[in-house]
Amino acid sequence: MKLKLAKQHIDDEVSTVTLKDIEVLLKEKESVILYFDQENAHKDLVALVEKFEEKDYSVYLKEVKYGLDENDYIYEVHIL
């Protein structure tokens, strides 16, 4: 499963991450905070949460609003 990461700057290219990439990050660090683009399906992010909870990680998923419009949000996933 490939998930789109949120852009840090408006001119940046869209980058993607897989579950294996996230696992590698978790082996390097104890916790990871990732921001995902709103174009990702919510069900894919819920599947991500479930996969890492099965591996005994604590995972938190929430929407982060960055503007006044209803569609101005990104997803934040914190894995401990």
Q: Where are the domains of the chain?
A: 2-79
* This prediction's pTM: 0.90
Judge whether residue 70 has pLDDT over 90: no
Distance (Å, rounded) from C-alpha 48 to C-alpha 77?
Answer: 9
| pLDDT tens digit sequence for 26-42 | 999 989 999 999 999 99
- What pLDDT shows up at residue 58? 96
CB burial string 17-38: b at 16+ within 10 A, e below: beeeebeeebeeeeebebebbe
